[in-house]
Chains A and B, each alone.
Chain A
């Protein structure tokens, strides 16, 4: 059974940093591209970032480019999102999401974690 479990969310001040983790199980993690998608409270879904299975290619939404860094450790079956220079508008639930085999890295998402809440506030 595919499982994705995010952690690392919390309350952080504007300008601060946070690192999110997503522990994966139930599939061969290194064979799949992975993404982060966020959802501000009461709002819709926004794609944040993607990374290829071997970690060699990544993409970012313009809203986070230069501030967020996606990475993965395939030996630990874990996806990361390093978030720096956080702003109030980054407040959201952050989901990690898996891309199906054969789909492009920024494709559609067949499995999602339960999400971790990041709140940016003073």
Chain B
């Protein structure tokens, strides 16, 4: 199975900050990467797919980049509603696998 490693595991930031979360795959995944946001007690919500394509309805302050094994999620200017846990997921090979999550907290 492809292992996905996110960093950091947790992050404290303030409203208006620019934040970057990193996801590293154990082998190349050819941009077959999705990012999700999950708030407490809620289901995950798709933010980006194919590494950099924004899902419909997701604010443009979210962006994704990367290639090969290394990918990033960037939030350009944190809003209060962005404090949540973020997961990356590879879909290059079955089984699809997720990173362990990055909890974004208010500083």
Residues of B within 8 A of A (CB): 34, 36, 42-46, 49, 55, 87, 89, 91, 94-101
Contacts and interface: CB of A to CB of B under 8 A. Distances in A.
B55 to A, nearest CB: 7
Interface stretch (A43-51, A72-80, A81-89): A43-51
Contact of A45 (B49, B55, B89, B94): B89
Contacts of A47: 95-98
Interface of chain A, main secondary structure: loop
Contacts of A61: 95
Contacts of B87: 44-45
The main secondary structure of chain B at its interface with chain A is loop
A106 B44 contact: no
B26 to A, nearest CB: 16
Interface of A: 44-47, 50, 59, 61-62, 95, 100, 103-104, 106-115
B91 A107 contact: yes
A108 B98 contact: no
A81 B12 CA distance: 38
B96 to A, nearest CB: 5
A113 B95 contact: no
B91 A115 contact: no
Nearest to A104: B91
A95 B95 CA distance: 16
